[in-house]
Amino acid sequence: MDQFLREELDYYIQSKHSVLVVEAKQADLTRGFTQLAAELIALDSWVESEDLILYGAVTTVFGNLGVFIVLRG
């Protein structure tokens, strides 16, 4: 990954053609969305697959709010 985009992923689930990254935040979905977008961009440059689809989700720790992102590599 890029030296400026270093983060620990809260949840990372990978299948043959897709990756799901989930960020769990206390209540700040805006900060979580920004962090998730940076992580997906970094993963896209790191993963060596042309047909991989990156899915991302930001949720509160209680799961009552959420934002979703799809990035096609």
Model pLDDT for residues 13-70, shown as the tens digit of each residue = 888 888 888 888 877 788 888 888 888 888 888 877 778 889 998 888 777 768 888 8
Reported as type and span, the H/E element at residue 66 is: strand 66-72
Residue for token pair 């979905």: 29
- The torsion angles phi and psi of 40, rounded to 5 degrees, stand at -65, -40
Tell me the pLDDT band of 1, cut-offs 50, 70 and 90. Answer: very low
In this predicted structure, the answer to whether residue 12 has a pLDDT above a threshold of 80 is yes
pTM value is 0.73
Greater confidence, 36 or 6?
Answer: 36
